[in-house]
Structure 1
Protein backbone atom coordinates (compact mmCIF):
# COMPACT_ATOMS: atom_id res chain seq x y z
CA UNK A 1 0.00 0.00 0.00
CA UNK A 2 1.38 3.34 -1.05
CA UNK A 3 1.28 5.97 1.68
CA UNK A 4 3.11 9.03 2.91
CA UNK A 5 6.48 8.26 4.39
CA UNK A 6 8.96 10.53 6.14
CA UNK A 7 11.44 9.75 3.36
CA UNK A 8 9.32 11.96 1.10
CA UNK A 9 9.68 14.95 3.43
CA UNK A 10 11.95 17.73 2.25
CA UNK A 11 11.86 19.93 5.34
CA UNK A 12 9.68 22.77 4.10
CA UNK A 13 6.30 22.62 5.86
CA UNK A 14 4.28 24.13 3.03
CA UNK A 15 5.85 22.06 0.25
CA UNK A 16 5.65 18.88 2.33
CA UNK A 17 1.98 19.51 3.14
CA UNK A 18 1.17 20.01 -0.54
CA UNK A 19 3.15 16.90 -1.47
CA UNK A 20 1.13 14.88 1.07
CA UNK A 21 -2.08 15.95 -0.67
CA UNK A 22 -0.58 15.25 -4.09
CA UNK A 23 0.44 11.73 -3.05
CA UNK A 24 -2.98 11.10 -1.47
CA UNK A 25 -4.61 11.94 -4.82
CA UNK A 26 -2.28 9.49 -6.57
CA UNK A 27 -3.27 6.87 -3.99
CA UNK A 28 -6.96 7.68 -4.66
CA UNK A 29 -6.35 7.03 -8.36
CA UNK A 30 -4.56 3.75 -7.61
CA UNK A 31 -7.28 2.59 -5.22
CA UNK A 32 -10.03 3.44 -7.69
CA UNK A 33 -8.21 1.51 -10.42
CA UNK A 34 -7.72 -1.48 -8.11
CA UNK A 35 -11.46 -1.45 -7.33
CA UNK A 36 -12.29 -1.38 -11.05
CA UNK A 37 -13.95 2.02 -10.77
CA UNK A 38 -15.72 3.24 -13.91
CA UNK A 39 -13.45 4.93 -16.43
CA UNK A 40 -15.21 8.25 -15.85
CA UNK A 41 -14.23 8.13 -12.16
CA UNK A 42 -10.58 7.41 -13.05
CA UNK A 43 -10.54 10.28 -15.53
CA UNK A 44 -12.03 12.66 -12.95
CA UNK A 45 -9.38 11.73 -10.37
CA UNK A 46 -6.63 12.11 -12.98
CA UNK A 47 -8.02 15.55 -13.90
CA UNK A 48 -8.09 16.46 -10.20
CA UNK A 49 -4.42 15.47 -9.96
CA UNK A 50 -3.60 17.68 -12.95
CA UNK A 51 -5.48 20.62 -11.43
CA UNK A 52 -3.82 20.12 -8.06
CA UNK A 53 -0.40 19.88 -9.71
CA UNK A 54 -1.07 23.19 -11.48
CA UNK A 55 -1.92 24.81 -8.12
CA UNK A 56 1.08 23.20 -6.39
CA UNK A 57 3.50 24.28 -9.10
CA UNK A 58 2.25 27.87 -8.90
CA UNK A 59 2.68 27.72 -5.13
CA UNK A 60 6.25 26.46 -5.48
CA UNK A 61 7.04 29.10 -8.08
CA UNK A 62 5.84 31.78 -5.66
CA UNK A 63 8.17 30.32 -3.03
CA UNK A 64 11.00 30.49 -5.58
CA UNK A 65 10.28 34.17 -6.21
CA UNK A 66 10.14 34.89 -2.48
CA UNK A 67 13.60 33.36 -2.02
CA UNK A 68 15.18 34.63 -5.28
CA UNK A 69 15.87 31.05 -6.27
CA UNK A 70 18.52 31.09 -9.03
CA UNK A 71 17.17 27.91 -10.68
CA UNK A 72 13.63 29.31 -10.87
CA UNK A 73 13.38 29.37 -14.65
CA UNK A 74 14.69 25.80 -15.02
CA UNK A 75 12.38 24.53 -12.27
CA UNK A 76 9.35 26.34 -13.71
CA UNK A 77 10.16 24.86 -17.14
CA UNK A 78 10.16 21.38 -15.60
CA UNK A 79 6.72 22.18 -14.15
CA UNK A 80 5.39 23.16 -17.58
CA UNK A 81 6.87 19.99 -19.11
CA UNK A 82 5.34 17.79 -16.39
CA UNK A 83 1.90 19.38 -16.82
CA UNK A 84 2.10 18.84 -20.58
CA UNK A 85 3.07 15.19 -20.03
CA UNK A 86 0.23 14.77 -17.51
CA UNK A 87 -2.31 16.23 -19.91
CA UNK A 88 -0.97 13.92 -22.63
CA UNK A 89 -1.35 10.92 -20.29
CA UNK A 90 -4.88 12.05 -19.47
CA UNK A 91 -5.68 12.13 -23.19
CA UNK A 92 -4.12 8.67 -23.64
CA UNK A 93 -6.13 7.31 -20.73
CA UNK A 94 -9.29 8.88 -22.16
CA UNK A 95 -8.67 7.36 -25.59
CA UNK A 96 -7.70 3.95 -24.19
CA UNK A 97 -4.13 4.27 -25.52
CA UNK A 98 -2.90 3.46 -22.00
CA UNK A 99 -4.48 1.69 -19.08
CA UNK A 100 -4.84 2.72 -15.47
CA UNK A 101 -1.63 0.89 -14.48
CA UNK A 102 0.44 2.90 -16.94
CA UNK A 103 -1.24 6.11 -15.81
CA UNK A 104 -0.52 5.28 -12.17
CA UNK A 105 3.13 4.44 -12.89
CA UNK A 106 3.50 7.78 -14.67
CA UNK A 107 1.96 9.65 -11.72
CA UNK A 108 4.03 7.93 -9.08
CA UNK A 109 7.29 8.26 -11.02
CA UNK A 110 6.50 11.92 -11.64
CA UNK A 111 5.96 12.49 -7.92
CA UNK A 112 9.03 10.49 -6.84
CA UNK A 113 11.44 11.89 -9.42
CA UNK A 114 10.41 15.54 -9.32
CA UNK A 115 10.29 15.78 -5.54
CA UNK A 116 13.57 13.91 -5.04
CA UNK A 117 15.43 16.03 -7.58
CA UNK A 118 14.07 19.50 -8.35
CA UNK A 119 12.12 20.13 -5.14
CA UNK A 120 14.95 18.85 -2.97
CA UNK A 121 17.31 21.39 -4.59
CA UNK A 122 14.81 24.19 -3.94
CA UNK A 123 14.35 23.33 -0.26
CA UNK A 124 18.12 22.94 0.16
CA UNK A 125 18.62 26.40 -1.29
CA UNK A 126 15.99 27.88 1.04
CA UNK A 127 17.55 26.18 4.08
CA UNK A 128 21.07 27.30 3.17
CA UNK A 129 19.84 30.84 2.58
CA UNK A 130 18.12 30.87 5.95
CA UNK A 131 21.30 29.60 7.64
CA UNK A 132 23.37 32.23 5.82
CA UNK A 133 20.98 34.94 7.05
CA UNK A 134 21.31 33.68 10.64
CA UNK A 135 25.09 33.98 10.42
CA UNK A 136 25.05 37.62 9.35
Structure 2
Protein backbone atom coordinates (compact mmCIF):
# COMPACT_ATOMS: atom_id res chain seq x y z
CA UNK A 1 0.00 0.00 0.00
CA UNK A 2 1.35 3.41 -0.94
CA UNK A 3 0.79 6.75 0.70
CA UNK A 4 -2.95 6.73 0.09
CA UNK A 5 -5.10 9.22 1.90
CA UNK A 6 -7.81 7.69 4.06
CA UNK A 7 -11.01 9.72 3.94
CA UNK A 8 -13.25 10.52 6.90
CA UNK A 9 -16.63 8.89 7.40
CA UNK A 10 -19.85 10.89 7.72
CA UNK A 11 -22.67 9.99 10.08
CA UNK A 12 -25.70 8.73 8.17
CA UNK A 13 -29.31 8.40 9.26
CA UNK A 14 -29.15 4.66 8.62
CA UNK A 15 -26.79 4.38 11.63
CA UNK A 16 -29.51 5.49 14.08
CA UNK A 17 -30.76 2.62 16.21
CA UNK A 18 -33.40 4.64 18.05
CA UNK A 19 -31.93 4.75 21.55
CA UNK A 20 -30.43 8.13 22.37
CA UNK A 21 -27.56 6.91 24.55
CA UNK A 22 -26.43 4.25 22.09
CA UNK A 23 -26.74 6.61 19.12
CA UNK A 24 -24.68 9.26 20.93
CA UNK A 25 -21.93 6.74 21.72
CA UNK A 26 -21.95 5.54 18.11
CA UNK A 27 -21.51 9.13 16.91
CA UNK A 28 -18.64 9.59 19.36
CA UNK A 29 -16.95 6.41 18.13
CA UNK A 30 -17.15 7.66 14.55
CA UNK A 31 -15.76 11.03 15.70
CA UNK A 32 -12.78 9.29 17.35
CA UNK A 33 -12.11 7.39 14.13
CA UNK A 34 -12.33 10.57 12.04
CA UNK A 35 -9.96 12.36 14.41
CA UNK A 36 -7.46 9.55 13.80
CA UNK A 37 -7.91 9.77 10.04
CA UNK A 38 -7.50 13.56 9.95
CA UNK A 39 -4.25 13.19 11.92
CA UNK A 40 -2.79 10.57 9.55
CA UNK A 41 -0.04 12.93 8.35
CA UNK A 42 1.08 13.91 11.85
CA UNK A 43 3.83 12.30 13.87
CA UNK A 44 3.46 8.52 14.17
CA UNK A 45 3.33 8.71 17.99
CA UNK A 46 0.24 10.95 17.78
CA UNK A 47 -1.43 8.65 15.26
CA UNK A 48 -0.83 5.68 17.58
CA UNK A 49 -2.29 7.56 20.56
CA UNK A 50 -5.39 8.41 18.50
CA UNK A 51 -5.69 4.74 17.48
CA UNK A 52 -5.54 3.90 21.19
CA UNK A 53 -8.35 6.41 21.79
CA UNK A 54 -10.51 4.69 19.18
CA UNK A 55 -9.92 1.31 20.80
CA UNK A 56 -10.51 2.59 24.33
CA UNK A 57 -13.70 4.40 23.29
CA UNK A 58 -14.91 1.23 21.57
CA UNK A 59 -14.21 -0.70 24.80
CA UNK A 60 -16.15 1.89 26.82
CA UNK A 61 -19.07 1.81 24.38
CA UNK A 62 -19.15 -1.98 24.35
CA UNK A 63 -19.18 -2.13 28.15
CA UNK A 64 -21.95 0.46 28.23
CA UNK A 65 -24.03 -1.56 25.77
CA UNK A 66 -23.33 -4.82 27.59
CA UNK A 67 -24.38 -3.29 30.91
CA UNK A 68 -27.67 -2.19 29.33
CA UNK A 69 -28.17 -5.67 27.94
CA UNK A 70 -27.45 -7.22 31.33
CA UNK A 71 -29.81 -4.90 33.20
CA UNK A 72 -32.54 -5.48 30.64
CA UNK A 73 -32.07 -9.26 30.68
CA UNK A 74 -31.28 -9.50 26.98
CA UNK A 75 -31.06 -13.07 25.71
CA UNK A 76 -28.43 -11.96 23.19
CA UNK A 77 -25.92 -10.73 25.79
CA UNK A 78 -23.42 -13.59 25.46
CA UNK A 79 -23.24 -13.47 21.65
CA UNK A 80 -23.06 -9.66 21.68
CA UNK A 81 -20.19 -9.72 24.22
CA UNK A 82 -18.31 -12.27 22.12
CA UNK A 83 -18.68 -10.10 19.03
CA UNK A 84 -17.38 -7.08 20.96
CA UNK A 85 -14.34 -9.07 22.19
CA UNK A 86 -13.54 -10.14 18.62
CA UNK A 87 -13.71 -6.53 17.38
CA UNK A 88 -11.40 -5.26 20.14
CA UNK A 89 -8.91 -8.08 19.55
CA UNK A 90 -8.90 -7.34 15.80
CA UNK A 91 -8.50 -3.58 16.36
CA UNK A 92 -5.60 -4.20 18.75
CA UNK A 93 -3.98 -6.44 16.17
CA UNK A 94 -4.44 -3.81 13.45
CA UNK A 95 -3.08 -1.17 15.80
CA UNK A 96 0.07 -3.30 16.03
CA UNK A 97 0.33 -3.07 12.25
CA UNK A 98 0.10 0.73 12.57
CA UNK A 99 3.24 0.62 14.71
CA UNK A 100 5.03 -1.02 11.79
CA UNK A 101 3.67 1.49 9.27
CA UNK A 102 1.05 4.23 9.24
CA UNK A 103 0.20 2.96 5.76
CA UNK A 104 -1.94 0.35 7.56
CA UNK A 105 -4.35 3.09 8.69
CA UNK A 106 -6.77 2.43 5.84
CA UNK A 107 -7.03 -1.22 6.89
CA UNK A 108 -7.71 -0.18 10.51
CA UNK A 109 -10.36 2.38 9.48
CA UNK A 110 -12.07 0.21 6.87
CA UNK A 111 -12.34 -2.73 9.25
CA UNK A 112 -13.98 -0.62 11.95
CA UNK A 113 -16.34 1.16 9.57
CA UNK A 114 -17.39 -2.04 7.81
CA UNK A 115 -18.13 -3.68 11.16
CA UNK A 116 -19.84 -0.52 12.48
CA UNK A 117 -22.19 -0.22 9.50
CA UNK A 118 -23.17 -3.88 9.67
CA UNK A 119 -23.47 -3.98 13.48
CA UNK A 120 -25.56 -0.81 13.89
CA UNK A 121 -28.05 -1.90 11.26
CA UNK A 122 -28.51 -5.44 12.53
CA UNK A 123 -27.49 -6.46 16.05
CA UNK A 124 -27.73 -3.02 17.68
CA UNK A 125 -31.01 -2.18 15.96
CA UNK A 126 -32.50 -5.45 17.26
CA UNK A 127 -31.34 -4.59 20.78
CA UNK A 128 -32.76 -1.05 20.46
CA UNK A 129 -36.11 -2.52 19.41
CA UNK A 130 -35.96 -4.75 22.48
CA UNK A 131 -35.27 -1.71 24.71
CA UNK A 132 -38.05 0.33 23.12
CA UNK A 133 -40.60 -2.46 23.58
CA UNK A 134 -39.48 -3.44 27.07
CA UNK A 135 -42.26 -3.08 29.65
CA UNK A 136 -40.50 -2.00 32.83
CA UNK A 137 -41.93 -1.97 36.33
CA UNK A 138 -41.45 1.18 38.39
CA UNK A 139 -38.34 1.37 40.59
CA UNK A 140 -36.42 -1.32 38.70
CA UNK A 141 -33.11 -0.91 36.79
CA UNK A 142 -35.14 -1.45 33.60
CA UNK A 143 -37.46 1.44 34.50
CA UNK A 144 -34.51 3.75 35.17
CA UNK A 145 -32.95 2.85 31.83
CA UNK A 146 -36.22 3.44 29.98
CA UNK A 147 -36.54 6.85 31.63
CA UNK A 148 -32.98 7.80 30.62
CA UNK A 149 -33.01 6.28 27.12
CA UNK A 150 -35.44 8.40 25.18
CA UNK A 151 -35.94 7.24 21.59
CA UNK A 152 -34.69 9.69 18.99
TM-score, normalized by length of structure 1? Answer: 0.86
- Distance (Å, rounded) in 2 between the aligned partners of 1:41 and 1:20: 22
1:48 matched residue in structure 2 = 53
Q: Which of structures 1 and 2 has the larger relative contact order (alpha carbons within 8 angstroms, sep 6+)?
A: 2
The answer to whether 1:127 aligns with 2:137 is no
TM-score, normalized by length of structure 2? Answer: 0.78
Instruction: Render the CA deviation track for 1:32-53: whole Å, top value 9, x for unaligned.
Output: 12xx122111111110011111
The answer to whether 1:22 aligns with 2:29 is yes
1:110 matched residue in structure 2 = 115
Which structure 1 residue ranges, 5 or more long, are not aligned? 132-136
Q: State which drifts further: 41-50 or 92-101.
A: 92-101
- Distance (Å, rounded) in 2 between the aligned partners of 1:53 and 1:113: 15
Q: CA deviation at 1:97?
A: 8.6
Q: Indicate if the aligned counterparts of 2:14 and 2:121 stay in contact, CA closer than 8 A.
A: no
Q: RMSD in angstroms over aligned alpha carbons? A: 1.8
- Distance (Å, rounded) in 1 between the aligned partners of 2:128 and 2:28: 18
Q: CA deviation at 1:98?
A: 5.5
> Which stretches of structure 1, 4 residues or more, deviate above 3 A after TM superposition?
none
Q: State which drifts further: 85-94 or 98-107.
A: 98-107
1:84 matched residue in structure 2 = 89
Q: Quick check: which one's helix share is greater? A: 1
Which structure 2 residue ranges, 5 or more long, are not aligned? 1-7, 137-152
- Distance (Å, rounded) in 2 between the aligned partners of 1:97 and 1:47: 14
2:19 matched residue in structure 1 = 12
